[in-house]
Amino acid sequence: MIDESSAFVLAATRSLGPWFAVWSIRYKWKLDRKLSPNARMVRWGVVISCYSLAWRPNSGGLRVVILLAGLTFLCWPNFAYYATRIFEKWPTTEGKVSSSLRKGPRISVDYYFEFQGQRYGGTSKFKAANDARYSEGTPVIVRFDPLNPDVSSVTEHLPPQEH
């Protein structure tokens, strides 16, 4: 019979194989998002908490679930990115519509914006109330993740400016 601290060390070392395998795939294909300080704190908080709780006495089948949750956050940090993303307020900037396409009752709007001297863009979909609001060159407000500017969306169109 091994003691509790030995079991914890054994589980941690056995997690290194899956972590390294998943990390190498994520690294090669550039699948990870940059994590904010809050997301890093959530990721490591979940990993440490789960690994610590999994070795409490009498946790039975719950031990496996808790350990898998910790291993999931360890192997795939994007879980922390998406879990914290809903609580973080992203900045906005002005962008421009590059094209739009009506598809039934919805309109697909391609847009671009600049951040730190680089051009980024994306596609947002809306109910097609007024196609003219999203014609080429129309200014729009874009909300974006400053750590991952390729993650963005149009929040609203700007009214035409009067001269």
Q: What is the CATH number for 97?
A: 2.40.50
Three-state DSSP state, 127: strand
pLDDT at 96 over 70: yes
* Residue 163 confidence (pLDDT): 40
User: Do 76 and 99 lie in a common domain?
Assistant: no
Contacts with 8 (C-beta within 8 Å, 6 or more apart), sequence order: 51, 52, 55
- 6 CB burial (10 A radius; 0-12, 13-18, 19+): exposed
User: Do 100 and 149 lie in a common domain?
Assistant: yes
The domain total for the chain is 2
The one-letter amino acid code at 149 reads P
pLDDT band for position 131 (cuts 50, 70, 90): low
Q: Domain span at residue 27?
A: 4-85
Contacts with 62 (C-beta within 8 Å, 6 or more apart), sequence order: none
